[in-house]
Amino acid sequence: MSNENHKKKKTQDDKKNPFTTSKKKKAARSKEIASKQQSVNQTPGSDTPEKDLAEGELVLHPKDPQVNPLQQPVLKDLVNHIMKNGIPKLQAEYATLAKYKPPNMTREVQNANKKLCRYKDVSCWDQTRIKLVFPLNSQNDFIHANYVNHPLFKNKFICTQGPMEHTVLDFWRLVWQESVTVIIMLCQCFELKKPKCAQYWPTVVHTPKQVGPFSITADDIKTDDPNVTVTDLKLEFGGDVRRVEHYHWVTWPDKTVPKNASIAFRLLVNPRDYTANPSVIHCSAGVGRTGTLLMLEAMFQHIQNFRPVDVPELLKQLRAQRSQLIQTEDQYVFIHYAMVQYAFMTRTVTLNECQKFFAAYSKYLKEFAEETKAKQTAKKKKKKPVKATRRKEHKEDKKEEKKELDTYFSLHNYEDDSSSSDSKK
């Protein structure tokens, strides 16, 4: 592709990218936000965001998905049902759903590949797992990833764990094999000083990152929206070149939920532009934040198609494909709050109609945070000091794990790039 054609394509892509804004539109948008800020501040989602007011505003971005007059009654029925039942009802629903396990689902392949799993207690169902068949000489077909589909989805989704250092190669095998064009990342590489995801993509423009036979280059990095970093990736293998858009939600708070849903709905616009290709969504485990975003897409598509939403049943349908989607109670409550907030943003309901629910939600979040903190404190007090013998056993386990990983890479006939200087950045 010539430079002139590439620039033309890039301009066209920027026009439809909801996270890219021209200077004129930015100026106009700033005036609009300032004029509406007084009313926005009356709602619980309007507190100062992690980096910018954009996360706290409760007005639609020009490129946010809209609701037409025919869809509004369906959305209004849903939010009226949510507000009528209240948060205690949602808590009771989740208490039941937390125990739900889809019938006849197994995880035998995962049990045989424990070293390739970030969390042992997060299941990867055999029935919907993605089998890595690329390249043909590979000795292992396992990756902790599942297809998640729904009749109303405009395209397929792949939910996966955040890659570990020794599974970065498998992640890119997955992306290439499935012809993925959009990756949505919902976590940081490190949170509270704990590793959550390997740095599997380059963060410096025009500096290729080599992962096995794949070369990944960041052609452009956009930070127009302070909440989402968009990286245009060029993925090369064997002389072939593909384009991948990497959307990184950098301000999703650790151990809690976002302040509002505007970023989520805006993010979900992107996969719908590539209906022929699956989109990857991942956080650390690939079930909590990932499930939250996926459920919002499922609920939104019900509204778009004039279908009533049975949230518990819908979640069960998705969990039959990827286990444990929606991992915590506050995530379950958030998806309902998000729909109420979206209804307010689209003027489907008035502030007077939803103000009581907003206040109850703010109170719930505060109480949930306090309860969670108390549980963590109690858990720390119960922890016993690690004995010297256990430390020795731990070191031996680490040595054994390294041997297994070396064997893994030798079976793939690729070098382990996890120790490269780029991967440590």
Distance of alpha carbon 344 from alpha carbon 88, whole angstroms = 22
Q: What is the pLDDT at residue 402?
A: 59
Residue 89 lies in a domain: yes
Q: What are phi and psi of 136, to 5 degrees?
A: -65, -25
Beta bridge partners of 233: 218, 244
Distance CA 263, CA 227 (A): 8
Active site residue 283: yes
Residue 21, domain member (yes or no): no
The per-residue pLDDT for range 372-412, each reduced to its tens digit, is 888 888 877 776 665 555 566 556 656 655 555 555 455 44
- Number of domains the chain contains: 1
Tokens of 285: 């485990």
Percent of the chain topping pLDDT 90: 65
Of the candidates 158, 122, 99, the residue with the CA atom closest to the CA atom of residue 329: 99
Element (H, E) at 252: none
Q: What pLDDT sits at residue 49?
A: 43
Rank 33-37, 278-282, 374-378, 420-424 by mean pLDDT and report only the highest: 278-282
Residue 19 lies inside a defined structural domain of this protein: no
Question: One-letter amino acid identity for 352?
Answer: N
pLDDT at 368: 94
Mean pLDDT, all residues of the chain: 83
Instruction: Indicate the pLDDT class of residue 253, thresholds 50, 70 and 90.
Output: confident
Domain that holds residue 412: 41-424
Q: Angle at the Cα of 331 (from 325 to 336), degrees rounded to 5?
A: 105
What does the DSSP 8-state code read for residue 66? P
The confidence band for 41, taking pLDDT boundaries of 50, 70 and 90, is very low
Q: Confidence band (pLDDT; 50, 70, 90) for 51?
A: very low
pLDDT at 384: 62
228/208 Cα distance (integer angstroms): 22
Closest CA to 317 of 86, 169, 100: 100
What pLDDT was estimated at residue 261?
Answer: 85
Q: Which of 124, 159, 197, 283 is catalytic?
A: 283
pTM: 0.79
Written as six digits, the tokens of 103 are: 């019938």
Most confident region among 22-26, 28-32, 235-239 by mean pLDDT: 235-239
In a domain, 174, yes or no: yes
Is residue 24 in a domain? Answer: no
How far is CA 285 from each of CA 107, 304, 322, 386, rounded to the nearest angstrom? 16, 29, 11, 26
pLDDT of 293 reads 97
Domain contains 350? yes
What is the pLDDT averaged over residues 208-229? 96
Q: Please, are residues 60 and 32 in contact by the beta-carbon 8 Å criterion?
A: no
Structure tokens at 196: 């959550």
With respect to residue 20, please indicate whether it lies within any of the assigned structural domains.
no
- The structure tokens listed for 142 are 């396992």
pLDDT of amino acid 284: 97
Over residues 316-334, the mean pLDDT reads 97
Residue 137's domain is classified under what CATH number? 3.90.190.10
User: What's the burial of 151, exposed, middle or buried (CB within 10 Å: 0-12/13-18/19+)?
Assistant: exposed
350-354: average pLDDT: 94
Residue 369 belongs to a domain: yes
> Could you give the CA distance from residue 258 to residue 281 in angstroms, rounded to a whole number?
17
pLDDT at 16: 56
